[in-house]
Amino acid sequence: VLIAGEKTDSRAHEYYVQGVAKNLHLNGIFELYMMSLARNENGEITEEIPKSVLIFFSYQNALDDSRSAILYRYLYDHREQLPELYEQYLPRIRAFVVSAISKRRTGANLGVLYKAFLDESMVNAQNADAVLEVLYTAQVRVQNPNISEVVVLYEETAKEMHYPVREGRARVPLYGGSYAILLASPGGERFASGVPYAICKWMIPGRLSQLVGPFIRSGEGNLSLYLCNHSKNCDEITMENVSRFKELLEGKELRPSYKNRLYHRLLRFYYENGFHKQLSDCLLQLKPQNLSGRERGEYLEMWMAAGNWEKALSWLVSFGTYGIDPKTVLKLCTQMDDLGEEGRKKRKDPRLIETFFYAFQKGKYNSTLLQTLCAYFCGTTREMRDVYNVALSLEVDVEELSERLLLQMLYTGAFVGEQTDIFRSYVQKKQGSDLELAFLAQASYDHFVKEKLPNAFLYQQMEQVARGGQKLPVICLIDYLKYASEHKGEMGAEDLIPVFLKKLMAAGLFFPFFMEFQDLLPKLARFSDRVMLVYRSAPGKNCTVHYLLNKDTEPQEDYESRPMKEMYDSVYIASFILFFGEQVQYYITEDQIGEAGERVEQLTQSGMLQRSDIRTSGKGSRFSMINDLMVAGTLSDYDT
């Protein structure tokens, strides 16, 4: 009756057990025995299967896949106890595994069989997707009856995966490890937590997942394989699988950030394997504004490797050097001549010149890069000085750079210690220019007015300019004479000194150091009875000297005042006719503006002038005889 009614409950199973034990040959008893076996929540049996049942099914098996999986797993688990029977079943088990894969069947029993029997002979292009799915499919168990589906979110993909829940169970493929599970209700509510669930994984794929790689090229399995391998960092691009990575990039499944990473790896693959055509095609798809500096730097190298120097230059000019290897910039500069006239034109682009200087700063340069910088670079004075020093050491022509450096120093007032050397380099190639005169004028101003240290070469150059027939600026004449007065016997330009003196005196300029050249210009003797007071201040000041003449006969009682003449920018002079032994006590005031806006005289300097030298005045002096008498009287020289 039970067999006729095909009963499979637990009560019927007890009768089937007894019938099998008594070897009752009833049609269908073995099938109903297997169908009525008690199973746990994973589908596994908890009792031993009689050997007679195993022998029966070794000849024929009409069981469904679920019961067949139980039967075959039991034989596998007992293969050592039943070796002959296991060998007899083996071909049928292997065929069943292949069939179950094609149907994408999963479960605890099948998980054991897949792990035991799945090998490369069972995997092909037709079933590779199915193999990957069954290896990673798990069961999600939910006790809450209001949950209708499981939603899986992968970090790498933008698309959600939805799986229905039936009787508290959902069959869910879980690829890799970077995913999140949400539980959803029919009303659209989603729960990331608060609703308990359990994940039951039937097997750990391990090495088995590697079997499908050679066969998957496109489709849904391609994405699944990527998710598996990406989480394990083993998704290397090779000649065999490059096509499937291209297919992934052409799809819309991956998030932009992961697509960019994958695209970068594909480009790197083409670059390292010399596939320049494919590399160029892929690089053209990039939007450099969306890339990081490091990525742009790497892709710049790839553009160069692909031979597209124009594109590399365009990127470099547009986005600068952030993240760029200076060796790449150096290589680009070196190869620009290969672009012909167009490359030579672009070499002048200020933005490109800045990138070349970046490479120089990082210590990456050669003669080509230095020649370019010397020809076109305009940076700060110190930056240009650094280029100058290196270029000079490598015997690169620095004429153009020297000219720009001198101009910049003159306009900005930012001078460097090597300024004279730079000037020397310039005049060796280019003499008699306005720039040369301007630099000499500035150098003279710095020495004479600002009292900076002089350089002998500059005065030699002034001599050369003067002998060449050019007109030296007034400040150069003044400074030259001052330097010559302090270095008598070193200059060797006695023919020029009188000329300079006459020009300055004709312009109404006179300084105390002129008197050092009486032997070269005798008419200076008429100034020998004068003592000059030199005072330095700011240009354009109203400076007044207040003086009191002390004589042996009648000392002066009240101070007299007179304005000091600004003989040259910020240099003020007042002269006094003094005889030997006479003194002038003085103080100097400058006009200042008080707190209320009123004019106030401020004392700035005081001192004493005297004529104490016994050297007689020159014959051209108006008072030479009087001065000589006073000297003789002081010395009791009555014979003179």
Cα separation, 58 vs 79, in Å, equals: 14
pLDDT (average), residues 606-618: 67
Predicted pLDDT at 218: 73
Share of the chain above pLDDT 90, in %: 49
CA distances (Å), origin 274, targets 190, 239, 266, 280? 50, 12, 12, 11
Cα separation, 154 vs 585, in Å, equals: 97
Which are the contacts of 526, defined by CB distance < 8 A and separation ≥ 6? Answer: 618, 620, 621, 622
Predicted pLDDT at 594: 74
Cα separation, 12 vs 21, in Å, equals: 14
Predicted pLDDT at 18: 87
Architecture of domain 528-634: Sandwich (2.60)
Q: Which of 490, 492, 521 is nearest to 504 (CA)?
A: 521
Residue 617 has pLDDT above 50, yes or no: no
pLDDT category of residue 546 using cuts at 50, 70 and 90:
very high
Predicted pLDDT at 571: 96
For residue 109 the two structure tokens come to 């029993």
- pLDDT tens, 148-159? 999 999 888 888
Tell me which of 266 and 363 has the higher pLDDT. Answer: 363
User: Tokens 């330095």 map to which residue?
Assistant: 536
Name the least confident of 136-150, 240-254, 421-435, 506-520: 240-254
Share of the chain above pLDDT 70, in %: 91
Predicted pLDDT at 639: 58
548 φ, ψ (degrees, to nearest 5): -135, 120
Name the least confident of 264-273, 373-382, 456-465, 607-616: 607-616
Q: Which of 398, 265, 32, 47 is nearest to 406 (CA)?
A: 398
For residue 207 the two structure tokens come to 């090495």
pLDDT (average), residues 573-600: 86
Predicted pLDDT at 628: 53
Q: What is the DSSP annotation of 205-255?
A: -GGGGGGSTTT--SSHHHHHHHHHHHHTT-----TTTHHHHHHHHHSS-B-
Averaged pLDDT of the chain? 86
The DSSP secondary-structure symbol of 589 reads E
Cα separation, 246 vs 262, in Å, equals: 9
Residue 623 has pLDDT above 60, yes or no: no
Predicted pLDDT at 554: 63
For residue 563 the two structure tokens come to 């304005």
Looking from the CA of 67 toward its CB, the CA atoms found within 13 Å total 18
Predicted pLDDT at 414: 86
3 state SS of 184: strand
Q: Cβ(550)–Cβ(584) under 8 Å?
A: yes
Q: What is the DSSP annotation of 607-635?
A: EEEE----PPPPTT-TTHHHHHHHHHHHT
pLDDT (average), residues 501-516: 94
Q: Cβ(269)–Cβ(237) under 8 Å?
A: yes
Tell me which of 204 and 389 has the higher pLDDT. Answer: 389
Predicted pLDDT at 622: 53
- pLDDT tens, 408-439? 999 998 889 899 999 999 999 888 899 999 99
Predicted pLDDT at 298: 84
Q: Which of 137-141, 230-234, 336-340 has the highest mean pLDDT?
A: 137-141
Predicted pLDDT at 614: 45
The pTM (predicted TM-score) of the whole model is 0.62
Residue 442 has pLDDT above 70, yes or no: yes
pLDDT category of residue 356 using cuts at 50, 70 and 90:
very high
Q: Which of 44-58, 370-384, 519-533 has the highest mean pLDDT?
A: 370-384
User: Tokens 């299967």 map to which residue?
Assistant: 49
For residue 491 the two structure tokens come to 């200059």
Q: Where are the domains of the chain?
A: 1-117, 136-235, 236-464, 528-634
Cα separation, 96 vs 118, in Å, equals: 11
Predicted pLDDT at 638: 53
Helical packing angle, 350-361 and 381-393, nearest 10°: 70
Q: Cβ(504)–Cβ(540) under 8 Å?
A: no
pLDDT category of residue 616 using cuts at 50, 70 and 90:
very low
Tell me which of 316 and 438 has the higher pLDDT. Answer: 438
- pLDDT tens, 443-500? 999 999 999 999 999 999 999 999 998 999 999 999 999 999 999 878 777 899 999 9
Q: Cβ(159)–Cβ(151) under 8 Å?
A: no
3 state SS of 334: helix
- pLDDT tens, 70-101? 999 999 999 999 999 999 999 999 999 999 99
